Structure 1
Amino acid sequence: MNHGEAAYGLWSLVIINSAIFIMFAFSFFKPASARDWRTFGAFAAFVVALFVEMYGFPLTIYLLSGWLQTRYPGLDLMSHNTGHLWSTLLGEKGDPHFSPLHIASYIFLGYGFYLLSAAWNILYHAQRRHTLATSGPYERVRHPQYIAFVLILLGFLLQWPTLLTLLMFPVLLFMYGRLAVTEENQMRKEFGAAYDSYAQRTPRFIPHIIKTGSPT
Structure 2
Amino acid sequence: MTKAILQDHSPAYGLWFLVIVNSVIFIGFAFAFFKPHTGRDWRSFGAFSAFLVALFAEMYGFPLTIYVLSGWLQSRFPNVDWFSHDAGHLLEMIFGWQANPHAGPFHVLSFLFIGAGFLLISVGWKALYQGQRQHQLVTTGVYGYMRHPQYVGFILVMFGFLLQWPTLLTLTMFPVLVFMYVRLARVEERDAAAEFGSLYERYRHDVAGFVPRLSGFFSAPSRRAANDEE
TM-score, structure 1 length as denominator? 0.96
Other structure's SS at 1:73 match: coil
Instruction: Tell me how far apart the structure 2 counterparts of residues 124 and 185 of structure 1 sit (CA, whole Å).
Output: 19
Residues 105, 158 of structure 1: 8 Å contact kept? yes
Residues 1:59 and 1:3: Cα distance change in structure 2 (over 3 Å): farther
Instruction: Tell me how far apart the structure 2 counterparts of residues 112 and 12 of structure 1 sit (CA, whole Å).
Output: 26
* 2:139 aligned with 1:140: no
Instruction: Tell me how far apart the structure 2 counterparts of residues 209 and 20 of structure 1 sit (CA, whole Å).
Output: 36
Other structure's SS at 2:43 match: helix
Residues 188, 196 of structure 1: 8 Å contact kept? yes
Which of 173, 193, 198 is equivalent to 1:168?
A: 173
Q: 5+ unaligned residues in a row in structure 1: which ranges?
A: none
Q: 5+ unaligned residues in a row in structure 2: which ranges?
A: 1-6, 224-230
> What is the alpha-carbon root mean square deviation over aligned residues?
1.4
Q: Render the CA deviation track for 1:41-80: whole Å, top value 9, x for unaligned.
A: 1100000000000000000001011111111114212200
Output the amino acid matched with 2:132.
Answer: Q
Other structure's SS at 1:64 match: helix
Residues 115, 145 of structure 1: 8 Å contact kept? yes
Which of 102, 111, 114 is equivalent to 1:109?
A: 114
Report what 1:16 is aligned to.
Answer: 21
Q: Render the CA deviation track for 1:168-188: whole Å, top value 9, x for unaligned.
A: 000011000000000000001
Which of 191, 201, 205 is equivalent to 1:200?
A: 205
TM-score, structure 2 length as denominator? 0.90
Report what 1:184 is aligned to.
Answer: 189
Larger Rg: 2
Which of 32, 35, 38 is equivalent to 1:33?
A: 38
Report what 1:123 is aligned to.
Answer: 128
| Correspondences of 1:43-62 after superposition (within 5 Å) | 43-62=48-67
Other structure's SS at 1:209 match: coil
Q: Render the CA deviation track for 1:118-142: whole Å, top value 9, x for unaligned.
A: 0000000000001111111100000
Residues 109, 151 of structure 1: 8 Å contact kept? yes
Report what 2:3 is aligned to.
Answer: none
Output the amino acid matched with 2:134.
Answer: R
Report what 2:159 is aligned to.
Answer: 154
Q: How many residues align?
A: 214
Report what 1:78 is aligned to.
Answer: 83
Identity of aligned residues (%): 56
- Runs of 4+ that moved beyond 6 A: none
Instruction: Tell me how far apart the structure 2 counterparts of residues 54 and 162 of structure 1 sit (CA, whole Å).
Output: 9
Shift of 1:101: 0.9
Report what 2:100 is aligned to.
Answer: 95
Output the amino acid matched with 1:104.
Answer: L
